[in-house]
Amino acid sequence: MQSKRVLLLILFLGVGFSCLFLVLFQQDRSEKTSHCVKIPVSFFPFTKKPLIHIEIEKVKYTLMLDTGSSHNLDLHKRVLAKIQDKTLIEVPRYMDVKGNSYLVQGFRSPPIKLHRHLELSGAIACEENIDFLTKGINIQKKKSLLGKIKERFSLFYIDGRAGWSLFDNMICLFNFGNSSIFLAENIGALTKEITFNPANFIKIPLEISRCGPVLSIQTNIGTRKFLLDTGASHYLYRESAIQPEDSIVLSMAVDEQDLGCWTFFSYPITSDLSNEFDGVLGIDFFKTHKICLDFQEKTAYIQRTKRLSQR
């Protein structure tokens, strides 16, 4: 009798492990053949900086998503020093929105793992320029002691930035409200893999400037072009239209869909970029709206929302 119980227990455990193996195998196979992956995004410890993790040569790094950067990757010197399989290449001087240019080194990077089932090859990694981070993108002319401490900590904690061009052959759905982005092969894959119904989104043309993706949006002062910049902590508008040290409130809409009212700070956007965009929509715009960018088809989708209060 005892032997029968042991035999039944062994049989039960065997069937259980077999079922578990089949389930895990099917899940793994499904993920491997999937054309859409979910990348977690963290806003800790910086509420204005969307952070993702990548892996290069089996070492993990923390990068900020920066759709206002034209580079594939910008990595700190300390990170580039660790990467063995890289090739020095010539890259053009980097220019910020103010028009300042920076000399940077560029390298052909080894494969970059964004997800266990998504690896990118052939990316170009540029050495991060500290002057650009500490001076070129500053809104405030003077920083408090706390601001300087946060800046230094971010230089240590964040290993670099991932620009929009790293994803230019994919569909990118920014869902910062749920701390994630989805990368898909095409809109069909995005619709199939997750809850994405194009009918719930406004479809509008997407332009690509030298800095990144640009949308034409109706405002109370006419249609204006705005750079979509996840690396910007503020909303910016060209200084030639606003008095320095001043700000302007713009009501925004696309295809009669209200996108709310936002306060833009005066900023010395270089005249060299005046034909490409008038202002910058920062990280809070992405936190408020679910946004999908199709770089290949030059199309953007913004989720329809209820009327927003002034911000």
Going from N- to C-terminal start, the domains of the chain cover 37-167, 199-303
Per mean pLDDT, which of 130-139, 160-169, 193-202 is the most reliable?
160-169
Instruction: Convert 266-277 to b/e letters by CB count within 10 Å (16 or more is b).
Output: bbebeeebeebb
Please state the rounded mean pLDDT for residues 173-197: 89
Segment 194-211 mean pLDDT: 90
Per-residue pLDDT tens over the stretch 254-269: 988 899 899 999 999 9
Tell me the per-residue pLDDT of 139-156, one tens digit each, with 9 for 90 and over: 655 677 887 888 889 999
Residue 193 has pLDDT above 60, yes or no: yes
Q: What per-residue confidence (pLDDT) applies to 142?
A: 65
Residue pair 61/160 in contact by the 8 Å Cβ criterion: yes
pLDDT at 192: 85
| 8 A C-beta contact, residue 201 and residue 108 | no
pTM, two decimals, is 0.85
Tens of pLDDT, residue by residue over 56-108, are 999 999 999 999 999 999 999 999 999 999 999 999 888 889 999 998 999 99
Instruction: Find the mean pLDDT for residues 10-39.
Output: 51
Q: Per the CATH hierarchy, to which homologous superfamily does domain 199-303 belong?
A: Acid Proteases (2.40.70.10)
Q: Do the domains spanning 37-167 and 199-303 agree at the CATH topology level?
A: yes
Q: Is the pLDDT assigned to residue 115 strictly greater than 90?
A: yes
Q: What's domain 37-167's architecture?
A: Beta Barrel (2.40)
φ/ψ of residue 105, rounded to 5: -90, 145
| Angstrom distance (rounded) from CA 216 to CA 137 | 23
- The answer, yes or no, to whether residue 15 has pLDDT greater than 60, is no
pLDDT mean over 241-248: 79
Question: pLDDT higher for 4 or 161?
Answer: 161
- Of the CA atoms within 13 Å of residue 142, those in its CB half-sphere come to 1
- pLDDT at position 10, please? 53
